[in-house]
Amino acid sequence: DIQMTQSPSSVSASVGDRVIISCRASQAIYSWVAWYQQKPGKAPQLLIFAASSLQTGVPSRFSGSGSGTDFTLTITSLQPEDFATYYCQQTINFPLTFGGGTKVAIK
Amino acid sequence: QLQLQESGPGLMKPSETLSLTCTASGGSINTSRYYWGWLRQPPGKGLEWIGSINYSGNTYYNPSLKSRVTMAVDMSKNQFSLELNSVTAADTALYHCARLPQGHTNRDVFDIWGQGTMVTVSS
């Protein structure tokens, strides 16, 4: 199985800050990474696929980058509605696997 | 816009078989454009993929659960289902159904999710 390791596990930030979340795969996965946002009591929402493609309807302050084993999700100018938990997922191999999550909390 | 809705038993006893159904509305599951999947999330923990199925019944299961999992589709009801046998307390989780596109760049992401149904296994 491909292990996905996210860092940090949590981050405190203020509205307007830039937040960067990292995800490392246990083996090379080209650009086959997706990112999700999950708010408490809600289902996850797809933000990014293929490492850097923005899902329809997702604000442009979200962006993804990386290839091979190292990937990042960047939120520029954090908004109040962005406080949530973020997960990466690899889509290259079965079993599909997720990172452990990064909680973005209010400072 | 497609919507997915899970239904299930809520509370179960150890060793029983969990049966969940996901009903699609606003679109058909009878298409080669998507697979249909199940995931779960134990309270306060991360996401685990359980398995995926397509309209013709082709399945992929997580090896960690494969011996206990069966998925099926029912086109007449626009539903797909999950059975997990011999449940234990470790199977207590919020269970989600979801859609997986099969396009070139978005293959096997989860782009539409059900709200989830909580399953608690307790004696």
| Burial (CB count <10 Å: 0-12, 13-18, 19+), residue B10 | exposed
Confidence band of B37 (pLDDT split at 50, 70, 90): very high
Q: What is the pLDDT of residue B73?
A: 98
B111:A96 CB<8 A: no
For B4-19, the pLDDT digits (tens) are 999 999 999 999 999 9
- Mean pLDDT over all residues of chain B? 97
The chain A residues in contact with chain B (CB within 8 A) are: 1, 34, 36, 42-46, 49-50, 53, 55, 87, 89, 91, 94-101
Cα B27 from chain centroid (whole Å): 17
Q: What is the pLDDT of residue B40?
A: 98
- The C-alpha R_g of chain A, in whole angstroms, comes to 13
| Residue spans of chain A under pLDDT 50 | none
B99: nearest Cα among B48, B42, B28: B28
CB atoms within 10 A of CB B106: 17
Residue type for position A31: S
| Chain B residues touching residue A34 (CB < 8 angstroms) | 109-110
| Chain A residues touching residue B110 (CB < 8 angstroms) | 34, 36, 44, 46, 89
For A39-64, the pLDDT digits (tens) are 999 999 999 999 999 999 999 999 99
Q: What is the pLDDT of residue A24?
A: 98
Q: Are B14 and B82 in contact (CB under 8 A)?
A: no
Share of chain B above pLDDT 70, in %: 100
Q: How many Cα atoms are found within 13 Å in the side-chain-facing hemisphere of A37?
A: 19
CA distance A37 to B94: 16
Q: What is the pLDDT of residue B67?
A: 97
